[in-house]
Amino acid sequence: MSLNAESTAFRSALEVIRAVEPRVADAIGAELADQRESLKLIASENYASPATLLAMGNWFSDKYAEGTVGRRFYAGCQNVDTVEALAAEHARELFGAAHAYVQPHSGIDANLVAFWAILADRVESLALKKAQVRQVNDLTEADWFALRRELGNQRMLGMSLDAGGHLTHGFRPNISGKMFDQRSYGTDPATGLIDYDKVAEAAREFKPLILVAGYSAYPRKVNFRIMREIADSVGATFMVDMAHFAGLVAGKVFTGDFDPVPHAHIVTTTTHKSLRGPRGGMVLCGPELADQVDRGCPMVLGGPLPHVMAAKAVALAEARRPDFAGYAQRIVDNAQALAEGLTRRSAKLVTGGTDNHLVLIDVTGYGLTGRQAEQALLDSGIVTNRNAVPQDPNGAWYTSGIRIGTPALTSRGLGTAEMDQTAELIHTVLSQTTSGESKAKYVLDPALADKVSKQASELLAGFPLYPAVDLG
């Protein structure tokens, strides 16, 4: 029997790897097997296409390509120029952006590029005014010293971590919390929703240089038109981190006030998650920040990864196909069906439901911490991650919540009926798990965990992962 192209490609790759280090080849094969057998509900994970995966394993990995298209610090980058230009073109067309920078290695890197682009733009505009020179290169060291003192400790206003914000939005463990004087806006204690009047009040009082919108665990839409109005009212640069919901923007599920690109000065994203591409980052902006953004390398980035940019070009081309819009809508349909199924089984959900790809369960209703719930579900073949809830009594490590998302299962073809079955499996495990002697320990009957794991496998059997890939 002849093998299809995907099976031939991956089998051949593993044979070549095995000849050098068989343990790596075995681990790659084991990872595919594990992903095929797991009910993956991690909101930030997905499954890239075979074409996207294969685009990363090639000779582009051997190239240094500091600089940008047509302006490299190394010779021989004509082919890198081709794939970077293609990735940027697809990104601009897909999101309706004036400029796209596809070099960031991750979402954190994309945010760093954005932060420093905003700071550099502000520094340079002030520098030219204060020093009364035409070009930044004409500034003296004394000029720069004075500017650094004046522009140090700039302010950032972003969503709080327990309300669904991200570490890169100004929190101490991340470099953003060390770069900026940061303050957070939260959500309404009664509803869990953003109170835009309170955000506006905080902005007027704090007067940030950057107002950040976007989230990693907020299960609702954000009105970016209102957020831009708030930013404009205090002279702030409006930045949106759409890493989690970029696929919903690309698929035109989020439009109008809920599409960040027409409203933000600068937008950052990852290229995996709901966008279903390779692990990496990207920055979108208007012409006023484009030159600063394009200095991301060497400003804060190391050398670009041309093989990943090639994979980004492939994934973004896939996202421009008509069927991606249907996929994006199914992500939301599945998330809402999962939320409804959990609610019918008396689970407590933050905000009571979802408008996007994720659902946040407050597991204190089951008498558990997030860490206990996460591990109990993993024992039962259900992969999730613990997450803080608003005003979380258990803090950011143990947490009181479980974050679940539907991009990966939607990629496998599961639909709303399967989401109800998934809700039943989750509820069964959580309702039968009891708290142990610490916030990490718990009690779950191994027989029940094994039963649920088998039920999860049976559910997935009808939706094979990478069905065209047979490793033998």
Nearest to 36 by CA among 374, 452, 411: 411
Tens of pLDDT, residue by residue over 364-378, are 999 999 999 999 999
**Claim to verify: residue 191 and residue 283 sit in the same structural domain:** yes
Residue 22 covered by a domain: no
d(CA 453, CA 441): 20
d(CA 288, CA 403): 37
DSSP string, 213-248: EE-SS--S---HHHHHHHHHHTTPEEEEE-TTTHHH
- pLDDT for 144: 65
Residue spans of the chain under pLDDT 50: none
Annotated catalytic, 441? no
Which amino acid is residue 61, in one-letter code?
S
- Say which CATH number the domain at 198 has: 3.40.640.10
- pLDDT for 133: 52
> Does the predicted TM-score (pTM) go above 0.85?
yes
Last residue of a domain, one of 290, 319, 348: 319
- pLDDT for 126: 65
**Claim to verify: residue 393 and residue 295 sit in the same structural domain:** no
Nearest to 356 by CA among 211, 243, 267, 225: 243
Among candidate residues 270, 369, 384, 433, the one labeled active-site is 270
**Claim to verify: residue 396 and residue 265 sit in the same structural domain:** no
**Claim to verify: residue 209 and residue 336 sit in the same structural domain:** no
Annotated catalytic, 439? no
Annotated catalytic, 241? yes
**Claim to verify: residue 127 and residue 171 sit in the same structural domain:** yes
Annotated catalytic, 162? no
Euclidean distance between the first and final Cα of the chain, in Å?
12
**Claim to verify: residue 313 and residue 436 sit in the same structural domain:** no
Number of domains into which the chain is organized? 2
Residue 221 covered by a domain: yes
Among candidate residues 109, 162, 241, 294, the one labeled active-site is 241
Q: With b meaning 16 or more CB within 10 Å and e meaning fewer, what string describes 142-176?
A: eeeebbeeeeeebbbbbbbbbbbbbbbbbbeebeb
**Claim to verify: residue 88 and residue 165 sit in the same structural domain:** yes
HEC letters along 396-429 = HHHCCEEEEECHHHHHHCCCHHHHHHHHHHHHHH
**Claim to verify: residue 351 and residue 315 sit in the same structural domain:** no
Residue 353 covered by a domain: yes
Annotated catalytic, 138? no
Annotated catalytic, 344? no
The parent domain of residue 206 ranges over: 61-319
Among candidate residues 63, 279, 320, 451, the one labeled active-site is 279
